[in-house]
Structure 1
Amino acid sequence: MRNQPWPKQQQRKQQQGFTLIELIVALVIVATLAVVAAPRFLNFSNNAFEASIKGVEAALASSLSFADAKIAIDNADTSIDYQGQTISLTGGMPAASAGTLRALLNIEVPPSWTRNWQTVPCSEPEFCILGNMFPGKNGYVAVPDYPLTQNGGQDRASYIWPRGYVLKSNGCYAFYINEATKGVYYSGSIVEGC
């Protein structure tokens, strides 16, 4: 009786590689997936910045609630002690300064700072902070839906924006506005430019 290895060898030979048609079909499938999925994956970094700013917005709102309670408990007019840091008050509310944002959000003072926030992207480890801004002051950024009137700087705004962004042109920032003339403050975020 004769051993017949030939069909097994032929079968093995057929399973060793792909045909040209199989390769083309695989490439078409991968290309289609890339075209469909790539925009979603490429948008993740923008979504991450937006989520980061929304997180800052939520943390700021929470901290402002605690500061409001501290102001009421202490019956404070000029300042409060907030977690070991002094926060100045304007109109009975936290002042709209960079120092206030740093204290409320427990962010360290950056080692360097540029006054060219309108043209130079933020280069701090996570965020840049700017405070005490008002209409008429060089570099003031009007917050949509919360315009301040030019009243000699009594009402002020402060901003916090992520690394890699420019404050004015990108529109990716959290804000705090102290409208002392009306006795109200606002906090929120603008994320259309993230």
Structure 2
Amino acid sequence: MELVVVIIILGILAVVAAPKFINLKSDALIASLKGFQGALKSANTLVYSKAVLSGQEKLDPGSVTVNGTTISTTVGYITSLSANVAVAIDGSFEVMTNANDAITADWGLYDVSGGNVYIFPKGYDINGNCSLRYFIDGTKPADPIFYALTTTGC
């Protein structure tokens, strides 16, 4: 009898507690954003290498050609503009004109004044707290790249 009671109590605890510990959608969105960040870092490495080889690593603005596509650069790195990120990385992107636009592509890209690009997964916008922020600061040539993940709303 005690065993049955223990099993029932454990079952109830599992049903109540499991969703709090297992949030697969959130984990998947966060992993997607981290994957995008990794892809952007890799693309920046390739673009910077091309910029160095062509003497463009100190120019603001500059440009390099990768696979026949011209990518604008800031001190050798991908300039932080939505259209530029979409050209540098292969994927399904939609450049948003407003921060709250509905995204139909896999990723939304939104330019904010000051040279920031926000990258959102489908179904999110600037208010969703589920994004990657990308920024290049040409005044800091030693460490100009800035990536910031916001995942509290994923």
TM interval, short-chain normalised? 0.7 to 0.9
> Do structure 1's residue 187 and structure 2's residue 147 form an aligned pair?
yes
Cα 1:128/1:165, change in 2 over 3 Å: same
Equivalent residue number for residue 158 of structure 1? 117
Q: What's the offset of the Cα at 1:37? A: 1.6
Q: Which residue of 1 aligns with 2:129?
A: 171
Q: Which runs of 4+ in 1 moved over 6 A?
A: none
RMSD across aligned positions (CA): 2.6
| Superposed CA offset, 1:139-174 (max 9, x none) | xxxxxxxxxxxxxxxxx111211111121x222211
What do the CA deviations read for 1:74-124 (whole angstroms, capped 9, x no partner)?
2234211123321112344321111221122212453xx65332x44x422
2:108 maps to which residue?
A: 128
Amino acid at match of 1:93: Y
Structure 1 unaligned runs (5+)?
A: 1-21, 136-155
TM-score under structure 2 normalisation?
0.78
Greater share of strand: 2
Q: Which runs of 5+ in 2 are unaligned?
A: none
- Number of corresponding residues: 147
- Larger gyration radius, structure 1 or structure 2: 1
TM-score (norm 1): 0.64
Shift of 1:190: 2.2
Larger RCO (CA under 8 A, 6+ residues apart): 1
- Alpha-carbon deviation of 1:56? 0.7
